[in-house]
Amino acid sequence: MLLAVAGVSTDTGHTSTQGSGTWAGPHNDNAIVDWAWRALHMSVVTGKEVVKQYYGQAQDTSLKEVQTFPEDFDGVIVGSPANWQTHLQDWSIHMNLNVQPSNSTRFINASVWENVIHPEVLRQCDAIDGLADGIISDPRFCDFRPEMLTCRPGQDASTCLTLDQIAAVQRIYSDYVVGDQQWIFGSYYPGGEEKYGSGLVSSKPFSIGEDWFRYFVLNDTKWTIEDYNSSVIPIADHIKPMAIEKNLTSFMGPGHNGKLLQYVGWADQLISPGNSLHYYESVHAWTNANTNMDIDDFYRLFTVPGMNHCDGGYGANAFGAVQQASGGMPPLSLDPEHNILAAMVQWVENGVAPANLTAVYWNNNNVTDGIGFTRPLCQYPKTLRYKGGNNVTADSFTCV
């Protein structure tokens, strides 16, 4: 198979430093629309025209595009998408407030996350998949109990948790719900502790979340995260630069026959994996209720044990997705079993859908250090189980 790849990129209509939202306003409505969807769509339209002129024919072969411009792509691969901006920003601030201020008894530093909480997560949950290999394969089955780490009188505080810290961990590992159990966003999952101390629950108040509410939502440049309360959620929902449409019939239906592959690392420190599960489940439920189609025929989600946001982490995390190879972590091979881009091409062109993928962990997340181990990536909602045999090769595991 010869695959010609053309790429387009866009600044989404503004220039800014990472982590700043001041460009959005107050009241810079055109810039917000460019960022939300217009810039990407226009880039795709322009890019297709360039490909057509360059190759003399149209090319034969992200979520907002699928929902709003279903004709733009035949196949789309998305990794842990930030598709529900309004709730993502709420969640980020909620997560950060769980440990703020950093001089309080609830604050948890990176060292305690990594050296105290992570080992206890492994002690309680590592063997659930049948193998104690230092990898939490599926945190859905890990009912982590941080109270096992409660400080005893006189115990060194760097080896245990205060009651306030235990309560914070319990909130951090719970979905964000308000009022009458209204679901706002997912949670952190047990297993990613090596990154949580530098992620959303670190000592610094979360600046992009603050800018989001200052410049997009409330138009109040003096607002700070200490002013946060759940009354801002419906105000943010009203702004709606988000991609949560459940009806994908124009993309997946017989008229277009589009394919969507999504992946998410269980140890994502930036966007709760629960967001990917929630979107998949919402499309699944809608599709079952309103169509005769099987979600498996157009949308598949793969979960990646121990992977951080889109790459990195301590599990097998290289399978050809964006950011991986550029970070020194190419897939083991370019075939559809190991490379998600080839899996997509095979699905779109030959109708062969991936049932699972095989990812590799390069030692130290660096290809020059050699293969550490390989593992299957299971199609959600399946889970990984150790069958027996060599613990470093994917064929000793199965998806059930």
Ligand X SMILES: *[C@@H]1O[C@H](CO)[C@@H](O)[C@H](O)[C@H]1NC(C)=O
Summarize as ranges the residues that interact with ligand X (CB under 6 A): 25-27, 29, 101, 103-104, 109, 111-112, 133, 157-158, 218-219, 227, 229, 231-232, 235, 239, 247, 249-250, 290, 328, 355-356, 366, 368, 373, 376, 391-392, 397-399
Output 8 or 23, the one with its CB closest to ligand X. Answer: 23
Output 143 or 227, the one with its CB closest to ligand X. Answer: 227
Judge contact between 301 and 379, C-beta under 8 A: yes
Least separation in angstroms between residue 55's CB and ligand X is 31
Strands 259-265 and 299-304: parallel
- How many other β-carbons are positioned within 10 Å of the β-carbon of residue 280? 19
Least separation in angstroms between residue 143's CB and ligand X is 23
Judge contact between 164 and 150, C-beta under 8 A: no
Output 133 or 335, the one with its CB closest to ligand X. Answer: 133
Output 51 or 223, the one with its CB closest to ligand X. Answer: 223
Output 15 or 105, the one with its CB closest to ligand X. Answer: 105
Output 26 or 205, the one with its CB closest to ligand X. Answer: 26
Distance set, CA 260 to CA 200, 279, 378 (Å)? 28, 12, 16
Least separation in angstroms between residue 177's CB and ligand X is 18
Judge contact between 348 and 368, C-beta under 8 A: no
237: nearest Cα among 299, 291, 185, 311: 185
Q: Positive or negative, the Cα torsion across 333, 276, 283, 170?
A: positive
C-alpha–C-alpha distance, residues 315 and 329, integer Å: 12
Output 150 or 290, the one with its CB closest to ligand X. Answer: 290
Output 82 or 239, the one with its CB closest to ligand X. Answer: 239
Least separation in angstroms between residue 43's CB and ligand X is 23
Least separation in angstroms between residue 328's CB and ligand X is 3
Least separation in angstroms between residue 103's CB and ligand X is 4
Output 150 or 391, the one with its CB closest to ligand X. Answer: 391
C-alpha–C-alpha distance, residues 276 and 185, integer Å: 10
C-alpha–C-alpha distance, residues 103 and 107, integer Å: 7
Q: Where are the alpha helices (DSSP H) in the chain?
A: 29-33, 39-55, 63-68, 85-97, 110-112, 118-125, 163-172, 193-196, 207-211, 232-239, 249-252, 273-290, 340-350
Least separation in angstroms between residue 350's CB and ligand X is 14
Least separation in angstroms between residue 142's CB and ligand X is 18
Does an H or E element contain 337, and which?
none
Least separation in angstroms between residue 6's CB and ligand X is 26
Torsion angle of the four alpha carbons 301, 307, 312, 318, in this order, in degrees rounded to the nearest 10: -50
Output 62 or 250, the one with its CB closest to ligand X. Answer: 250
| Residue 221 CB-density burial (10 A; 0-12 exposed, 13-18 middle, 19+ buried) | exposed
Amino acid at 361: Y
Least separation in angstroms between residue 111's CB and ligand X is 4
- How many other β-carbons are positioned within 10 Å of the β-carbon of residue 165? 24
- How many other β-carbons are positioned within 10 Å of the β-carbon of residue 323? 12
